[in-house]
Structure 1
Amino acid sequence: MKLTEETFEIVSETERLVIRPLRKDDYKNWLNEFENRFPSQHRHDKGKIDMSQCTQEWFHNLVDKHQDLSLKDIANVFGVFRKEDGTHLGMVDFSTLARDDFQWGRIGYSIHNQYWRKGYGKEAVKEALNIAFNHLNFHRIEAHINIDNSASYNLASSVGMKYEFTRRGFIFEFGGWTDNLIYYKNSIG
């Protein structure tokens, strides 16, 4: 992992992946992979998305917004890219929930469905947790997962996150207040 002082950019690599913030020159690659998504595979997979509003200018504004959120310690958004050819595979993000005596954040992750079942999600999330603990200085990371999203909680478990409890009526989705499973990992233990 390296932090470049010119851009304050975190870049981390695994055997097959590069995890880093989106850059303005990622636009065509990013758009292409969204446009090549398969239809939805289950209710938690958006599948094909209408990308007509996602112009190059819109994307450049998104990159600027991500950078601003990072500088303000509100959120850190990372693209996941295949090392061999630079293909955009998905995203991993961290939201800051509390600092001070807590150092507490939330992780979100998504791999384009045309790249599922190849281990990219596990590899990306495992490395992203290293970024969270070793660079972003979080002590506790939580994943908030819909109770019927087995792919997500299996992924969280596979990278060492532990089920803690179920938050009842936690998030307004699908027309109502839904429960979420809380998985967590601490920087120690």
Structure 2
Amino acid sequence: MPDKKKIFDVIAETERLIVRPLKSDDYQNWFNEFNNRFPSQYKHDKGRMDMSVCTEEWFHNLVEKHQELALSDVAHVFGIFRKEDGIHLGMVDFSTLAREVFQWARIGYSIHNQFWENGYCKEAVKEAVNLAFKELDFHRIEAHINLDNIPSINTARSIGMEFECIRKGFIYENEEWTDHLVYCINSK
């Protein structure tokens, strides 16, 4: 189990990016970039969203919830920020699937669509996986990906995740049980 006091101090950096937990003072930056999203670019892109409920108080509660989830080792949620100007680019998260002899997590990731095709997702996800192995003590990380989500498949492959299987009727979404690809990577 990771040292819980380190959760909020965990920061990963690449040449261009910082991956870290959200802070309450990230609100305006976070809100602006969600609000600046382009319309949906394909089926698995949420595109523009209704941000009317996302008040500063709502965001403060979200940050607190992320901290609670990290302290209880249920989930570890990180914002992705560009170093040069601090702009919020997206999110990456790890959900703990099992500890003890497994040390197993699921990864989720997204980059705001106005920042696509700059290599940010690959760079952030690769560094976040390193962080998960070194700081959160996971041994195995899985990505559960819709069969037709080519950008997510490409991201998983680009950081060294390997296709393992198709899990049939694995996740309930859009009012039906859907099959998902499982890509995985183990710590070395």
Residue 180 and residue 7 in structure 1: after superposition, are their counterparts in 2 closer, same or farther (change >3 A)?
closer
Deviations 1:46-96 (A, max 9, x none): 000000000000000000000000000000000000000000000000000
In the alignment, is the contact (CA less than 8 A) between 2:78 and 2:93 conserved in 1? yes
Q: What is the aligned partner in structure 2 of residue 154 from structure 1?
A: 154
Residue 151 and residue 7 in structure 1: after superposition, are their counterparts in 2 closer, same or farther (change >3 A)?
closer
Q: Trace 1:32-47 onto structure 2 (pairs within 5 A).
A: 32-47=32-47
Moved more, 172-181 or 161-170: 172-181
Give, in angstroms, the shift of residue 176 of structure 1. Answer: 1.1
Deviations 1:82-130 (A, max 9, x none): 0000000000000000000000000000000000000000000000000
Moved more, 167-176 or 69-78: 167-176
- How far, CA to CA, are the matches of 1:173 and 1:85 in structure 2? 36
In the alignment, is the contact (CA less than 8 A) between 2:27 and 2:56 conserved in 1? yes
Residue 95 and residue 55 in structure 1: after superposition, are their counterparts in 2 closer, same or farther (change >3 A)?
same
Alignment TM-score, normalising by the size of structure 2: 0.96
Number of matched pairs: 186
Residue 124 and residue 6 in structure 1: after superposition, are their counterparts in 2 closer, same or farther (change >3 A)?
closer
SS in 1 for 2:128: helix
- When the two chains are superposed, the root-mean-square deviation of aligned CA atoms in Å is 1.5
SS in 1 for 2:164: strand
- How far, CA to CA, are the matches of 1:82 and 1:8 in structure 2? 19
In the alignment, is the contact (CA less than 8 A) between 2:8 and 2:67 conserved in 1? no
Output the amino acid matched with 1:19. Answer: V
Q: Trace 1:12-161 onto structure 2 (pairs within 5 A).
A: 12-161=12-161
Give, in angstroms, the shift of residue 8 of structure 1. Answer: 3.4
Give, in angstroms, the shift of residue 6 of structure 1. Answer: 8.3
SS in 2 for 1:110: strand
- How far, CA to CA, are the matches of 2:127 and 2:64 in structure 1? 24
- How far, CA to CA, are the matches of 1:179 and 1:143 in structure 2? 13
